[in-house]
């Protein structure tokens, strides 16, 4: 039952999918990060289904791209985009590290956050407008791998706020299980990319590795470590990068 409760916590925290509510204790959170990529699997299946519907009914590229770009926000409630926007504001401020960390916690939305969010959604919609239904499984794995990598980074990289909520969440996580589950999810994604895309698996692996390395470099240099908002930024950037690699490679 402890594993099931961790599953429910993962979905209730990182998605709007209705699940039974359980007590948010350290014991119940222990394996929640292991199930984080499952939320990505739901998003990937929804995207694949939408692309198949567009192909079946000959929907135009504008509608296909716009809905596909909004699907992740609808399923997650925008929790990761919120982190992307907060991080964009903090990075654009060019303030000292302490001030940048304060900006991450500020509930107000700055101009740079709005511009970056709008630009992100426009680019995502443009990429999905070029996507084919056959690319559904390839694109679906993007959302799984981004969450597997994010979970691993959260439990491995230095925390910028040792006494913050993220630290309490990661301290309760079974780190060895998070690492093993992340490796398993990553291998599944690579297998799908290799079987359906051949050499594309190498490009996706390289792009994902570069995103992770840049994330660590940026987080340590600009913020002194990772935070929940930075994790959202990393997840969004990784998804957009891998989506671009897959879509542009099939054109």
152 contacts 10 by C-beta, under 8 angstroms: no
C-beta atoms surrounding 35 within 10 Å: 21
Say how far apart CA 99 and CA 153 lie, in whole Å. 23
Question: Which residues lie below 8 Å from residue 96, measured CB to CB, with a gap of 6+?
Answer: none
pLDDT of amino acid 158: 86
DSSP symbols for 120-155: HHHHHHHHHHT--GGGHHHHHHHHHHHHHHHHHHHH
Whether residue 209 is predicted with pLDDT greater than 90 in this model: the reply is yes
pLDDT of amino acid 32: 80
- Over residues 20-65, the pLDDT tens digits come to 887 777 777 777 888 899 999 999 999 999 999 999 999 999 999 9
Element (H, E) at 164: none
User: Taking residues 171-193, what's their average pLDDT?
Assistant: 81
pTM strictly above 0.85: yes
Residue 226 pairs with which residues in a beta bridge? 159
Higher per-residue confidence, 104 vs 187: 187
pLDDT of amino acid 222: 92
Strand runs labelled E in the chain: none
Whether residue 168 is predicted with pLDDT greater than 70 in this model: the reply is no
pLDDT of amino acid 174: 60
Say how far apart CA 148 and CA 184 lie, in whole Å. 9
Query: Could you tell me the two tokens for 71?
Result: 């699907």
Say how far apart CA 68 and CA 7 lie, in whole Å. 26
pLDDT of amino acid 195: 95
pLDDT of amino acid 8: 83
């Amino acid at each position: 039952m402890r594993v099931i409760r961790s599953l429910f916590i993962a979905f209730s925290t990182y998605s709007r999918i209705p699940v039974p509510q359980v007590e948010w204790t350290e014991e119940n959170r222990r394996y929640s990060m292991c199930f984080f990529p499952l939320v990505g699997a739901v998003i990937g299946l929804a995207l694949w289904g939408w692309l198949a519907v567009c192909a079946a009914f000959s929907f135009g590229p504008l509608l296909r791209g716009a809905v596909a770009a909004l699907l992740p926000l609808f399923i997650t409630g925008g929790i990761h985009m919120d982190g992307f926007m907060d991080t964009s504001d903090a990075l654009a401020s060019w303030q000292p590290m302490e001030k940048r960390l304060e900006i991450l916690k500020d509930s107000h939305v700055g101009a740079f956050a709005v511009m970056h969010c709008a630009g992100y959604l426009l680019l995502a919609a443009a990429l999905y407008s070029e996507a084919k239904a056959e690319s559904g499984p390839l694109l679906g794995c993007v959302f799984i791998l981004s969450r597997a990598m994010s979970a691993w980074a959260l439990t491995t990289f230095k925390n910028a706020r040792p006494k913050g909520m993220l630290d309490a969440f990661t301290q309760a996580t079974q780190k060895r299980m998070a690492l093993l589950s992340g490796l398993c999810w990553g291998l599944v994604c690579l297998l799908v990319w290799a079987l359906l895309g051949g050499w594309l698996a190498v490009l996706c692996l390289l792009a994902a590795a570069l995103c992770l390395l840049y994330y660590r470099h940026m987080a340590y240099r600009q913020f002194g470590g990772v935070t929940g908002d930075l994790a959202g930024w990393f997840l969004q950037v990784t998804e957009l990068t891998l989506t671009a690699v897959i879509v542009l490679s099939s054109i």
